[in-house]
């Protein structure tokens, strides 16, 4: 039995998804015999600690939450997006010297930044879509040069992502992305199958990739499609042996290049010229119905077993592995 603190919520557009992940993780850990405490971060940044007096400020609420760290062994930060998945919570655990599930500050921060992720991928020979970086203050100067995908550099669940197929829609798409980040990516439109690969780092350092998952969606796999039930998933994806091996090698290579820990989901487009990395998620959705648990279930790893493995693999961020 391990004493685990599960953190959910968060101060970003993925708040509700994070609540669902945290609730599912906590229930699975309890079912597995762990002693679980829970804390929720509100959209306003207030840490909601059970049985604690109402705090006067976000700082006071954080102080109340920090007092819990003295009594637990592992933190499971099931917070997707900014001020969570981007390494903020891993950094907090590093300062407290507490073991944490998932990647450290460096991997989380780079993985959350789609532009930086592209640079790392290209450095290790993994293709990404051709694109350009645009400052939100300069969106009025962007010219339309054919169909493009516009997305915030740092945002999750496809918030602020738009497929632009007409020049008249470009400015609106840029403004939508700018509502989520002051840096925007404008990328070429890729045509290929959408394939996700999940990689886990087990206790002891062994990394392996679960069977790949294919997303079937009519048009862009945007925020609405992700959560309205219209998308269909195939696990394992119907791949040739060569395609499967190439995707797994690319996923593990990206996992290692970023220095990920715990689990990470690598999202690819499988084109006629091979895989193209779309993005990396260092704290992906973690309900039993989410993509990553589905992939590991296809490998014979139950949801309860998966979260247990992640707790057992937790380390103090920045500590030697």
Note the pLDDT tens digit of each residue in 187-206.
999 999 999 999 999 999 99
Residue by residue, DSSP assigns 13-73 as TTHHHHHHHHHHHHHHHHHTT-EEEEEEE-TTS-EE-TTPPPPSSHHHHHHHHHGGGGG-S
pLDDT at 70 over 70: yes
Q: What is the pLDDT of residue 229?
A: 55
Global pTM reads 0.91
Average pLDDT estimate for 57-72: 94
Q: What is the pLDDT of residue 159?
A: 81
Give the HSE-up count for residue 5: Cα atoms under 13 Å, Cβ half-sphere: 24
Distance between CA 59 and CA 46 in Å, rounded?
A: 8
Domain ranges of the chain: 3-102, 109-127+191-301, 131-188
- Residues with Cβ within 8 Å of residue 291, at least 6 apart in sequence: 196, 198, 213, 233, 265, 284, 285
Q: What is the pLDDT of residue 193?
A: 95
Sign of CA dihedral 107, 111, 113, 119: positive
pLDDT at 149 over 80: yes
CATH: 3.40.50.300, 3.30.365.10, 3.20.20.80, 3.30.1490.20. Which one for 131-188?
Answer: 3.30.1490.20
Q: What is the pLDDT of residue 321?
A: 55
**Domain 3-102 adopts which CATH fold?**
Rossmann fold (3.40.50)
Confidence category of residue 68, pLDDT binned at 50, 70, 90? very high
DSSP state of 194: E
pLDDT tens per residue across span 83-106: 999 999 999 999 999 999 999 999
Distance between CA 311 and CA 286 in Å, rounded?
A: 14
**Domain 109-127+191-301 adopts which CATH fold?**
D-amino Acid Aminotransferase; Chain A, domain 1 (3.30.470)
Confidence category of residue 220, pLDDT binned at 50, 70, 90? low
């Amino acid at each position: 039995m391990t004493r685990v603190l599960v953190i959910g919520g968060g101060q970003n557009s993925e708040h509700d998804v994070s609540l669902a992940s945290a609730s599912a993780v906590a229930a699975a850990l309890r079912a597995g015999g762990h002693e679980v405490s829970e804390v929720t971060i509100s959209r306003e940044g207030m840490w909601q600690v059970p049985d604690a007096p109402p705090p006067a400020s976000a700082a006071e609420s954080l102080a109340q939450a920090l007092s819990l760290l003295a009594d637990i062994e592992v933190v499971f930060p099931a917070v997707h997006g900014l001020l969570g998945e981007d390494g903020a919570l891993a950094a907090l655990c590093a300062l407290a010297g507490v073991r944490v599930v998932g990647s450290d500050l460096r991997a989380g921060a780079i993985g959350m930044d789609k532009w930086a992720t592209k640079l790392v991928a290209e450095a290790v020979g993994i293709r990404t879509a051709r694109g350009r970086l645009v400052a939100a203050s300069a969106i009025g100067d962007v010219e339309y040069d054919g169909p493009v995908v516009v997305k915030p550099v740092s945002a999750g669940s496809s918030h602020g992502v738009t497929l632009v197929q007409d020049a008249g829609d470009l400015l609106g798409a840029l403004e939508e992305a700018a509502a989520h980040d002051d840096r925007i990516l404008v990328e070429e439109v890729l045509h290929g199958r959408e394939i996700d690969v999940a990689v886990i780092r087990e206790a002891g350092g062994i990394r392996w990739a679960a069977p790949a998952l294919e997303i079937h969606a009519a048009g862009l796999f945007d925020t609405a499609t992700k959560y309205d039930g219209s998308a269909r998933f195939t696990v394992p994806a119907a791949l040739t042996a060569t395609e499967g091996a190439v995707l797994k090698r690319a996923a593990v290579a990206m996992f290692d290049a970023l220095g990920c820990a715990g689990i990470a989901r690598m999202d690819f487009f499988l084109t006629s010229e091979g895989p193209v990395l779309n993005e990396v998620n260092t704290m992906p959705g973690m309900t039993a119905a989410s993509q990553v648990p589905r992939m590991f279930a296809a490998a014979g790893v139950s949801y309860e077993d998966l979260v247990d493995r992640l707790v057992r693999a937790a380390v103090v961020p920045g500590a030697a592995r």
